[in-house]
Amino acid sequence: MDTKFWSVDKFVTNLEDYPQISEAAALLKENEVVAFPTETVYGLGGNADSDTAVAKIFEAKGRPADNPLIIHIAKKEQLDSFVDGVPEKAGMLMDHFWPGPLTIVFNKKAGQLSAKATAGLSTVAVRMPDHPVALALIKKTGLPIAAPSANQSGKPSPTSAQHVHDDLYGRISGIIDGGATGVGVESTVIDCTGPVPVILRPGGATVEQIEAVVGKVQLDPALADQEIAPKSPGMKYQHYAPNAPLYLVEGSRDFLQELINEKRKLGLKAGVLTTEENVAFFQADAVLGCGSRDKPETVASSLYDTLREFNAKDLDVIFSEVFPRIGVGEAVMNRLMKAAGQRLIKEE
């Protein structure tokens, strides 16, 4: 398949009329799939009303068909066609966070949207991205756009058009390069179909920020217990993994260095994911700094790019320090635990 590549300046006025946006929107209306930037990660978009388009998303990603997709909209009025009512707290969250990195789960109107997009569920996850290119593209199509992250399933999510190109070139119809993303981890997913909102996936909107708007929320038990089936898109299977096995290490820097030394004595090439403050401390075959420990938002924005960078180092094993589960640090640790397949080594 020939994959078109468009470069779009997100600061251009009247983006909807930009030729590249028009061309990409035309492909989406023809039930093709196109990758585009959002403020979190790059998404792989398709017409959410079309079984054909949604099937192309799953095929391009190699994504399991029982994993529902998030629907992206450009204006709240689009909800009227496929959402069965907006609960009060959902409305409060929309007013505060949209556009932004918060996905809200609603009850779905029967018979609306492709059943493949919602994996046959009676609920639908929806967000309004905070990126001018994404909003212009969605408005131009006039469609609800189903869009998971634009990567091959299981790999780190893409935060640049180059990441999308590396994973999906030749498998999709087009890629819009709108520059690097900002938040760096996916949106928070919150279920508002019950009396108390439930966070199904931590992400760019923190628990603290959400509770400041709607009061106390609950966390999905599946976030703490891996034996419980998760309800959120993107949480059921191992994700975000680099090529080499990843292990999280809870303990001192000296303990982490001992683990590295043990592997290297066996003739294995070992890498370490750390923060800028600790890069000079570690001796390994690859030492990559991922933001500042004092600024978890910088760790989040650098995480997937760092995980992908390890793939160019030809390593046998990677160790990562752990991060405080405060603010967006909760999302960072969630993604790292998924990338590591829950492998955690604790210092005694």
Q: Is 40 annotated as a binding residue?
A: yes
**Length of the chain measured in residues:** 348
Q: Is 67 annotated as a binding residue?
A: yes
Q: Is 173 annotated as a binding residue?
A: no
Q: Is 302 annotated as a binding residue?
A: no
Q: Which of 74, 124, 129, 135 is nearest to 99 (CA)?
A: 129
Q: Is 293 annotated as a binding residue?
A: no
Contact 190, 88 (CB under 8 A): no
Q: Is 240 annotated as a binding residue?
A: yes
Tokens representing 165 are 């190109």
Q: Is 157 annotated as a binding residue?
A: yes
Tokens representing 334 are 């969630």
Q: Is 334 annotated as a binding residue?
A: no
Beta-bridged to residue 344, according to DSSP, are 248
Q: Is 149 annotated as a binding residue?
A: yes
Q: Is 201 annotated as a binding residue?
A: yes
Q: Is 301 annotated as a binding residue?
A: no
Q: CA 302, 303, 305: angle at the middle one, nearest 5? A: 70
23 Cβ neighbours under 8 A, 6+ residues apart: 4, 6, 174
Around Cβ 59, how many Cβ atoms within 10 Å? 13
Q: Is 72 annotated as a binding residue?
A: yes
Tokens representing 328 are 């967006």
Distances (CA, A) of 101 to 179, 201, 293: 17, 12, 22
The structure tokens 């792989």 sit at 44
Beta-bridged to residue 190, according to DSSP, are 104, 199
Binding-site residue numbers for L-threonine are 40, 72, 127, 147, 187
Binding-site residue numbers for ATP are 63, 67, 123, 149, 157, 201, 240
Binding-site residue numbers are 40, 63, 67, 72, 123, 127, 147, 149, 157, 187, 201, 240
